[in-house]
Structure formats: C-alpha cells, structure tokens
Structure 1
Amino acid sequence: MRTPPYKEGQSVRRSLFFTLMIVVAMPGIALAAEPGGGEGWLKPFAAIAAGIGMGLAAGLCGLGQGRAVAGAVDAMARQPGAAGRIQTAMTIGLALIESLALYVLVRGVLLLFVKWPA
C-alpha cells in the first residue's frame, strides 16, 4: 500500500490556506473595479444561480423521467393489454416532468437578462 506524498493534515491546511487567500483578496478585487453604471453586483450571482438551477433541474428531471419510463415499460410487460393506457399516462407524466425543467430554464433566462440595479 502506497503512502501519500504529503503528511497527514497537510492537504487540509493547504486548501484552507488557499481559501483564506481568496477571501482576503476579494475586497481588493472589488475595490480595484472601476465605478460606473454597470449592471450591479447581482449579475454574476444571477448567472451562477441560473446555471446551478438548470443543472439541478435537468439532472433530477432526467432521473425522474428514467424512473417513469422504467415503471411504464415494466407495467406494459406485465399487462400488454393495458399498454395503450399506460403509454398515454406515461406521456402525460413525462410532459409534466419536462415542464419543470422548462420553467427553470425560463426563470434562468429571466435572471440573466433582467436589468439589475447598480
């Protein structure tokens, strides 16, 4: 078994050091920015929120759709006579699941293109 090339706790100290340096440098970066009628400080956070929201919505909707289709295919295999009704219910369910992702997409686009106060 190989031992890591660093001492125990050194990796944690290193990451804490770099995190502290970033936090300490942030006010300097903010003060170095030119004042003006920019889009405000909320714009970058809105972009991050839109990206995280869409990523979560797409991933979780994909998982939900996969489970819905798996359940529908399993039900169709057990009762082939009810396949038409099961397929209709599955299609409606998939449309509702996909609408959640589309709502998050619309919200994300609105967050990105709204004019934020300075």
Structure 2
Amino acid sequence: MNELAMMGQYIGAGLAAIGCGAAGIGVGHIAGNFLSGALRNPSAAAGQMANLFVGIAFAEALGIFAFLIALLLMFAV
C-alpha cells in the first residue's frame, strides 16, 4: 500500500477516535443533568434511575462504535 493511502487511513482513524472523547463528554452531560434534576426533586430521582442508565449505555455505545471504526481504519486492508 502506498504512503498516501496509509496517511489517509491514519487521518480517518484519528477523526473517528474523536467520537471516543465525545462519548465521555456525553456521559458526563447525562450524569450531570441527572444529578441536577435529582437535587431539585429528590423524590423523583429513584424513578429516573433506569433512564439514566439507558442514556449512559447509548452514549457509551456510540463511543465504542467510533473506537471500532478507528480500529478498522487502522488495521483493515
């Protein structure tokens, strides 16, 4: 494989890896908003715990997909 194609693979993998950092930001945003709402209305916090975990799972899944795409771009021929 020529150097230009390899360079494109690494640039694409780096851009896809941005999604991993964005997943961390998303999880922090979800948890922060949950905590803010729980402090405003503590009696409703227990009922929203399942929504918190579903939101965190979706945000982490997007980060894992971005990591998978970055690995595929780096090591797939």
After superposition, what is the alpha-carbon deviation per residue over 1:79-117, rounded to whole angstroms, capped at 9, x for unaligned?
2222222221111101101111111111111111222xx
For residues 63 and 111 of structure 1, what CA distance do their matches in structure 2 show?
A: 23
Q: Give the paired residue count.
A: 76
TM-score, scaled relative to structure 1: 0.57
Greater helix content = 2
Any gaps of 5 or more consecutive residues in structure 1?
A: 1-38
For residues 88 and 58 of structure 1, what CA distance do their matches in structure 2 show?
A: 23
CA RMSD across the alignment: 1.5
The within-5 A match list for 1:1-118 is 39-40=1-2, 41-54=4-17, 56-115=18-77
- Structure number, greater radius of gyration: 1
Percentage identity across paired residues of the two chains:
24
Moved over 4 A (4+): none
For residues 73 and 59 of structure 1, what CA distance do their matches in structure 2 show?
A: 21
TM-score, scaled relative to structure 2: 0.83
